[in-house]
Structure 1
């Protein structure tokens, strides 16, 4: 198994498709490569699933009854510009496809989906995720190398754990915004149960490593990065 396929084992995916005869076999196939695959039958159910599980990757059909894929992605892109989203379509309608591109859905799969094409798009999604996580984020005189999980201050490097790095990435990308506990559990614990004590310990250790008062607790609500 190639390195990028190993990376997939730690990621989750949301698959949105109204035809059960297509959705179920595809979910079974994707489940072989990913940590977990969530499924939904239309855009409305897909959006609810997105908010509940915060998947790393989204595959969605474009044209579906009730709420279609474009509607769902428009809602997601209002506050999430980074999650890789691939469109699945049997259509060649140029306006439809142009709308998808404007929503940063440059990746697409044409029905019927061949395994080779499926893996190709998954690899592109992995590359997007790794590039996004590899960005060095700066805050004042300190830097956070999220790819290598390092906190850098005055050229001194302090290693971070995976959860510490994921938590910081979440806070920094929404700097100044309140991140609720539910989102922290989804994005940092990734489907595992997050106890209050575990989160407090994570924050305590991070504050000690950083040495700057930047992580703010909002009682009974969540955390934010102020700095």
Structure 2
């Protein structure tokens, strides 16, 4: 199996499509290649699921009832400039898409979409995700070196464990947003079970290595990074 296909297996995709006869077969096909496919019947449900699930990639039809794909993408891009988005359109939608120029759509897919074209587009999404994962991240007066799993603060190097590094990177990628317990478990503990006690122990250890008050606890919701 090619490396990018292996990477795709670890990612979650939100798929918004109002026609069940299209959505269900496509979901079944995509589920073979991705870790999870989250289904939405329109842009309104898609937006709710985006806030709740924080997927790695978004695939959406343009024309849908209630709220369409363009509405959903515009709302997402207000707070998220990085998550790759693929939009499925018809040839007749060209004029309608003029307002989407600034929305950073990874690729427009014209109906009907073939599996080869879809997989090629998902490969582009993988490349975009990989290019965005820089080795270091500067924040709160510190440099976070994720490749070497260490914090550099005022010239002093502090080592992090794998879980501490994964947890901190997750919070920094979504800086200012609350990252849910479910997402932390999937991204940091991966296939392991995460107890709240284990998470609190990790946070307590990491807080000792960071500037004061950087990691915020949101009761019954999750954690965020505030600098």
Q: Same fold (TM over 0.5)?
A: yes
Pairing 1:1-227 to 2, within 5 Å after superposition = 1-139=1-139, 142-146=142-146, 148=147, 150-153=149-152, 154=155, 156=157, 158-161=159-162, 163-173=163-173, 175=175, 177=176, 179-180=177-178, 183-190=179-186, 194-208=194-208, 210=209, 212-218=211-217, 220=219, 222-227=222-227
Does the residue aligned with 2:18 lie in a helix, a strand or coil?
A: coil
Does the residue aligned with 2:91 lie in a helix, a strand or coil?
A: coil
Kindly provide the CA deviation profile for residues 166-211 of structure 1, in whole angstroms up to 9, marking residues without a partner as x: 4323433454x3x43xx33243223877542132122123234x25
| Contact map agreement 1:149 1:160 (CA 8 A) in 2 | no
Classify 1:165/1:133 alpha carbon distance in 2 versus 1 (closer, same or farther; 3 Å): farther
Divergent runs of 4+, >4 A: 191-194
Kindly provide the CA deviation profile for residues 125-170 of structure 1, in whole angstroms up to 9, marking residues without a partner as x: 1111112222521135531234x26224237473542x43343234
Normalised to the residue count of structure 2, the TM-score between the two structures is 0.84
Unaligned ranges ≥5, structure 1: none
Deviation at 1:89, TM superposition (A): 1.2
| Contact map agreement 1:14 1:50 (CA 8 A) in 2 | yes
Does the residue aligned with 1:88 lie in a helix, a strand or coil?
A: strand
CA RMSD in angstroms, aligned pairs only? 2.5
Classify 1:166/1:80 alpha carbon distance in 2 versus 1 (closer, same or farther; 3 Å): farther
**Number of residue pairs aligned between Structure 1 and Structure 2:** 220
| Contact map agreement 1:42 1:69 (CA 8 A) in 2 | yes
CA distance in 2, matches of 1:101, 1:48: 24
Deviation at 1:19, TM superposition (A): 1.2
